[in-house]
Amino acid sequence: MQILLIMLIVVLLAFSVLLLALAKQSPREKQTEDKEQEEYIRDYAETVRQTGGSMKKLEHWKVIAIYLIIYDMIAVNFSYFMALLVRFDFRYSSIPTDYFAAWRSFAPIYTIIILVVFGCMHLYNSVWRFASFHELIKITVATVITGVLHIVGITIFWERMPASYYLIGALLGKYKHAEVALPGGCDIGCRAIDQHIKGFRALGAEVKIEHGLIKTHAEHLRGSHIYMDVVSVGATINIMMAAVMAEGTTIIENSAKEPHVVDLANFLNSMGANIKGAGTDVIRIKGVSHLHGTEYAVIPDQIEAGTFMFAAAVTKGDVTVKNVIPKHLESITAKLLEIGCEVEEADDCIRVVASKPLQHTQVKTLPYPGFPTDMQPQITVALGLSKGTSIVTESIFENRFKYVDELTRMGANIKVEGNTAIIDGVSRYTGANISAPDLRAGAALVLAAMSAEGFSTVDDIRYIERGYEDFHLKLQGLGAQIELIETERDLRKFKLKIG
């Protein structure tokens, strides 16, 4: 992919150099053109004066700025939108994400609009004479570069989506065609898509992987009996969305039981789908001809709730988390009780009190209802402050202990062997400058920093912001001394404020 991008940039630069060469003027040509412009402006000013009007000089930099804005808004965005409609039969059934695939999709329309916009500006210039023909060429070079950077930005955005493959099931189910980038997101390990592909093919779709895209197409989707080789939340969700409008009945065996799988089934049922068995090993889906609109309240995020529950354990605090479903948090609650915390449950809230020293335990991440992999960094931070030796085994993702190096800088005593972390508890963490390697690890490191002695700074918080809304504000509400900073000056002010 990097090679293709470099090739694209080289071609673009060569094109720009060619245009600039065409725009090059000799001193005599420039002098003649400037003189003609001065005479034209003088004649125009005299005409305006005689008719009682006024003339405002439009400076070149303003012209360039206006041209850049209009060009980028019209030539790039409109051409991208039109290309999607023209190439994909007036429906958003595919999103070009490979650089050259994206360029290919709308290069013809993009080129036409470049010529139209440039032609209109030149025609306008021939009347109002605000810039020379050669200056317009130079402006066009700048705007073409702006456009290409805009295109590359769009493709990078789609490639970095952590769960881009969730679009496939929905698009395939409704439009029978989809092209979506392979998943990106946090670097915690391989996001296998073999079970997704197996399910789509069982429903009658053709699946190919080309140029970093998953391409699926089906004339008709037909229900099928699908056995999942491994429990996969993503594959279960994708197959459900694809099968909901397929002909006949689809049965998914060894399906994921996570709360959000059940929530998706309930949501689709509220739109007219016929899904039964969500939350069990076997899901049965009877295809329907169409879905209708609905209003639906999404369940609370059990991982965010679990993070605040472990915030109480790490800081030896007393935290009540409201608007939760305690049933979804049973595996988290069980481990908090094991390490010595007090947990009180109500209908829609949970209170965690850590008044006693934390105790060691053993944890293994498993599909629901087991302990969630997204809570592994948080419990590791807590166990790093417990008495004795704890063992944490990661069975879902193979690269989820990257944060351990950062935690070690804060004084933790953790040794990682393969997919297992051996943790010898310490009495306290100490402040340090650390970086968030991914979403959940970033949140866990913030918890460690709150309990640490001294100041800590956590960089690369874009990961945290992606998964936690107003995380620092909620922690401030719990009494944490935490601030979102952007400059060294902000950091100094924060240190002075808290002493």
Q: Which of 186, 190, 341, 349 is catalytic?
A: 186
SS3 category, 114: helix
DSSP H or E segment with residue 472:
helix 471-477
The neighbouring-strand residues paired with 389 are: 424
Short-list 306, 273, 280, 299, CA closest to 382: 306
Asked whether 46 and 55 are in contact (CB, 8 A), the reply is no
Q: Residues with Cβ < 8 Å from 465, sequence gap 6 or more? A: 471
Please, is 195 exposed, middle or buried when counting C-beta atoms within 10 Å of its C-beta (0-12, 13-18, 19+)?
buried
Q: Which residues pair with 251 in a beta bridge?
A: 225, 284
User: Mapping DSSP to helix (H, G, I), strand (E, B) and coil, where does residue 481 land?
Assistant: coil
Residue with tokens 């829609």: 348
Which pair of structure tokens corresponds to residue 109? Answer: 């329309």
- To the query of whether residue 186 is one of the catalytic residues in this protein, the response is yes
Amino acid identity at 154: I
Distance separating alpha carbons of residues 363 and 366, to the nearest angstrom: 10
**With left for phi above 0 and alpha for psi between -120 and 50, is residue 388 left, alpha or beta?**
left
As beta bridge partners, residue 206 has 217
CA angle (98 as vertex; 95, 100 as ends), nearest 5: 115
Q: Where in the sequence numbering do the catalytic residues fall?
A: 186
